A and B are shown apart, each in its own frame.
Chain A
């Protein structure tokens, strides 16, 4: 009996360990509470003859509304919601009812795909704004592609998002293969001779870390280490390795919630160099976690595709409206989410116009997005190329100036570049 029990406990551990390898435990995927989810009453289906109302158009958002990355994810939803409220006028005048359907992808690919299946099953959804994480966007967009549903991403930077060449997948931000290069070149301009690279093993984090590494090696910077980790708390072993090779810079390819803990622990153990990361670092929560570690020693810089609101001339009113409605400064990507929603609305409007005011199909909306020429958003003027990248994207390098999370918005832009996506 005892032996049987031992065997059983081993099995239990093994299965739990296996489960743990994949992802941290998550609850069953569920749309956010305010989402009217999948119920699309048949009477409102687009094929029905139009009376006074021509039907409901839903625009879905997917971003992490819960969990460690929710401070960015919630503001993506809020930015999109603000755009919907302010810019849906033309469609309402044409007789459509326009609704937001926000979903919580929990920064988890499985949840994102499950939500995507629900979203495409709802015929009223004509466009999607999302996601925050490339690792969630890539598998979810396979569902959007199969269903012909257009998606405009306000934040996904992994090259693979658009490199598959899907008609439905667009983004209004830059790419990691450029962002990694921008980071490495800035490091070189700081006089960095050696760098220890760590990534979070996601499509986004590892992707940008690899582009950084490639360019750093070309520039003659020694790569003292290249490690992936899913650890969220105990970085002691990794910090020991970092200190042993004593690099000028530690580059973390990943998101702030993990990076903050690593940076703090590295500083506490006496690391004095510079920290650097990609746009996943861009959240005031990083300062909340790491505090002084960001400004002591060599400080911290990050590259990003989304500059602070002040660098975009068009965002002043947006910041004001956002604060009035949600009571806080917008996090990065909220303004991009606003533009992504604006692009969805404009494309639906164009497609409906071309049809003489009838409900457009998903395919017509997807084509209308690509047909936009110099769309004036608040964060830039957007024209999409044939794979869904914008023809010219902005890249920034930003230096953290204060350990106080409330002063995150004052971080100094040390470099601004306009770069076209690399041609194949």
Chain B
């Protein structure tokens, strides 16, 4: 036991935790500052006047009052994106190609997890009255099942659709990945239509996940805004943090991780050193797929409804997050996910009021993707692409 504890490298556990806290606080602070300055400037214009007319408060206090909720929502979304983005980035790290089928791996995880919960609910094992402890055990079970199914699917896809193309020009596996993506979408549709006859599935209500912990309220004009966080948002954040720390430890502090890094640096040399390259690549897909699957179940828990196309947008955005952070870089994917989640939520909440209703929440994605293009123009390798040489 003593030896086991000694062998754990505490530094590798604390470092990612520190990074996550730093990234969350840092991006929150930077974006909050920008939005507050914007609010102060716009307060002097017609925008401020229209806010005053609608809410009887200045744009500045409107922004301040809504900020805490926006930060909580943004971080929750950001951690989901980060967990998916790691799948893209790990595969890019070892194979230098973008696994566009990862968004469907995510969907597979979501469907397996949700179908298990629906089946349990159907047998009346799950209910809103059940004990909270049991509810968590079942949720963890669904999460693990989603991870297992998605990880397995990712390995199978690698073996069948990517490994035969490993020597081919770079575009070929990319096209293969897009093909696999469509194939998996329709495979989910087919299986769902044969087994349940429904394409959109709803995660059952059980346990206390939908409850909201409130910390009090802030006055806003005539009414007030209550501050709080839903238990399921906390679950999403905590689960994502645990997985990200686990992944970081695996890659940076274990022998397998060393092998993964070696394959990422130079496949041929790694092979000469006695590393089974195929084995390591399959393992990379397994880990990336499991993270994606877990993210799928968490996404379903947070947002209630899934359909066979559920992976498309989160996948696209997680890919964006991976590129934003610097693709191939684990820390970058984490930062990119957090930044993108926050950006999107900020844009969705404040764009409408800042433009006096001309551009509403519907344009949040355009905003987020414009940022991506801007970042790529000025930093083609992403936020953390060059500075950190470490690759997954």
Contact = CB atoms under 8 A, between A and B. Distances in A.
Contact of A236 (B316, B323, B345): B345
A270 B69 contact: no
B304 A233 contact: yes
Contacts of A288: 202
B230 interface: yes
Interface string B58-83: 00001001100110010001000000
Contacts of B316: 13, 16-17, 20
B205 A291 contact: yes
A229 interface: yes
B210 interface: yes
Contact of B186 (A10, A27, A227): A27
B380 A237 contact: no
Interface residues of B, number: 63
B376 A10 contact: yes
Interface in B176-216: 182, 185-186, 189, 193, 198-200, 202, 205, 210, 212, 214
Contacts of A27: 186
A225 B365 CA distance: 20
B114 interface: no
B385 to A, nearest CB: 10
B23 interface: no
B52 interface: no
B116 interface: no
Contacts of B345: 236-237
Chain A at the B interface: SS class: helix
B185 A261 contact: no
Nearest to A247: B223
A231 B368 CA distance: 15
A24 B311 CA distance: 11
Interface in B342-373: 344-345, 347-349, 352-353, 357, 360-362, 364-365, 369, 372-373
B360 A68 contact: no
A13 B361 contact: no
B160 to A, nearest CB: 22
A423 interface: no
Given A6-B376, A17-B316, A227-B361, A25 B223 contact: no
Interface in A308-331: none
Contacts of A268: 210, 212, 230
A229 B228 CA distance: 25
A204 B313 CA distance: 24
Q: Which of A9, A227, A268, A289 has the most CB of B within 10 A?
A: A268
A260 B73 contact: no
Contact of B304 (A70, A243, A246, A265): A265
Nearest to A237: B348
Interface string A261-295: 10011001110000000000000000011011000
Q: Which of B198, B303, B307 has the most CB of A within 10 A?
A: B303
B304 A241 contact: no
A289 B380 contact: no
Interface of A: 2-3, 5-6, 9-10, 13, 16-17, 20, 24-25, 27, 66-68, 70-71, 201, 224-234, 236-238, 240-241, 243-246, 257, 260-261, 264-265, 268-270, 288-289, 291-292
Given A70-B199, A292-B205, 15 more contacts: A2-B381, A20-B312, A25-B309, A201-B362, A224-B54, A226-B357, A227-B352, A236-B73, A240-B66, A243-B69, A243-B225, A243-B226, A244-B62, A261-B303, A270-B226
In the A-B complex, the 7 residue pairs with the smallest Cβ-Cβ separation, listed nearest first, are A237-B348, A233-B303, A236-B73, A246-B223, A227-B360, A237-B349, A68-B200
